Amino acid sequence: MTTTRSHRSALAIAIAGALLASAATAQNVTVTAPGGGGFVVNNAANAPLFAIDANGNLTIANLSSSVGQTSPVCFNAVTGLVGPCSGGGLVGPTGPTGPTGAAGATGPAGATGATGIAGSTGATGATGATGVAGAAGATGATGATGVAGPGGATGATGVAGPAGATGATGATGVAGPAGATGATGATGVAGPAGTTGATGATGVAGPAGATGATGATGVAGPAGARGATGATGVAGPAGATGATGAAGPAGPTGPSVSITVFQNGPITSIGGGNTLVATCGAGKVIVSGGCQADIINDAISGSFRSSPTAWTCLIGSAGGTQITAFAYCN
């Protein structure tokens, strides 16, 4: 289809006006991961905070070290919906602590038995037959410790005995290991110089050398004197002014265009490639589109109409930035 210049100008003005208008009706944000991939949300240090793998398994980092809460969380086994547990939770209340039992009374200490009196020693009688062993007698009281007697005087030092005879000479010991090699002696004084020999005969003359390279070209001589300037020619007469042409007809007025902006985002990017699609509302078709990303940490590698009603943005990101896709629809 051919579009006139005025039509394109009207379309550009309409798109610019739509960009300055308020945001259109919010749309759901849909992120489609590549085959075998998942969805990951990173922090500013590019470390994962929240992830869903290709099998739908959910991982929340640092959950074990977060602040403890009092209400349990359950999920619907059919739909996967997460929320508070019904019936106050699956864990029952903690029962009261039972009373501590009373300590038993300490029994009385038993009385100390009396010490028996030691009997006197009888005379030694004849050895009779060995009788039956009687019961063990009571233990007698321990006698008092006797006083230690005075120590005796130290005896005088005895006289030294005579010196013993000289013993025989012992055998010769084994020779010790050889000593280390001594340092090298200093270099001796140089002898006198020998007599100078006779001068040898003159050698045969060598062949002639090769011809040298051609010398450089000499400097050019000075330029000749400049000739005199010729006389200026006579100016020709001015030509007659042409007639003014008739005004052309006005061009046709372009059709009016009503542009509605639909957007997907802003959403937080993930590290790596991000695909974001903005879709026109019901009954509208795509006219143009655009992508918005972080100028430092993101790179827009693709921005194109992916269907008659959708605009696709391909954005590479370091993660954690805000990205948006726009669809300008008529």
Domain ranges of the chain: 1-30+258-330, 37-65
CA distance 123 to 118: 16
Report phi then psi at 291, rounded to 5.
-130, 145
Query: CB–CB of 72/87 below 8 Å?
Result: no
Query: CB–CB of 311/305 below 8 Å?
Result: yes
CA distance 64 to 167: 89
Residue 23 has what pLDDT?
47
Contacts of 301 (CB under 8 A, 6+ apart): 314, 315, 316
Dihedral angle computed from the Cα positions of residues 306, 312, 314 and 318, in that order, rounded to the nearest 10 degrees: -160
Residue 261 has what pLDDT?
94
Contacts of 148 (CB under 8 A, 6+ apart): none
What one-character DSSP code corresponds to residue 279? Answer: E
CA distance 315 to 298: 7
Contacts of 330 (CB under 8 A, 6+ apart): 257, 258, 259, 260, 284, 285, 287
* Host H or E run for residue 10: helix 5-20
Spans of the chain below 50 pLDDT: 1-14, 16, 21-23, 116, 119, 122, 125, 128, 143, 146, 148-149, 152, 155
CB atoms inside a 10 Å sphere around CB 210:
6
Query: CB–CB of 289/325 below 8 Å?
Result: yes
Written as one string, the DSSP assignment of 161-187 is: PPPPPPPPPPPPPPPPPPPPPPPPPPP
Model's pTM, two decimal places? 0.26
Residue 6 has what pLDDT?
40
What one-character DSSP code corresponds to residue 152? Answer: P
Distance of CA 248 to the CA centre of its chain: 71
The residue to which tokens 């391909």 are assigned: 314
CA distance 43 to 62: 12
Residue 309 has what pLDDT?
95
* Host H or E run for residue 6: helix 5-20
Contacts of 85 (CB under 8 A, 6+ apart): 71, 72, 73, 74
The DSSP bridge partners found for residue 291 are: 325
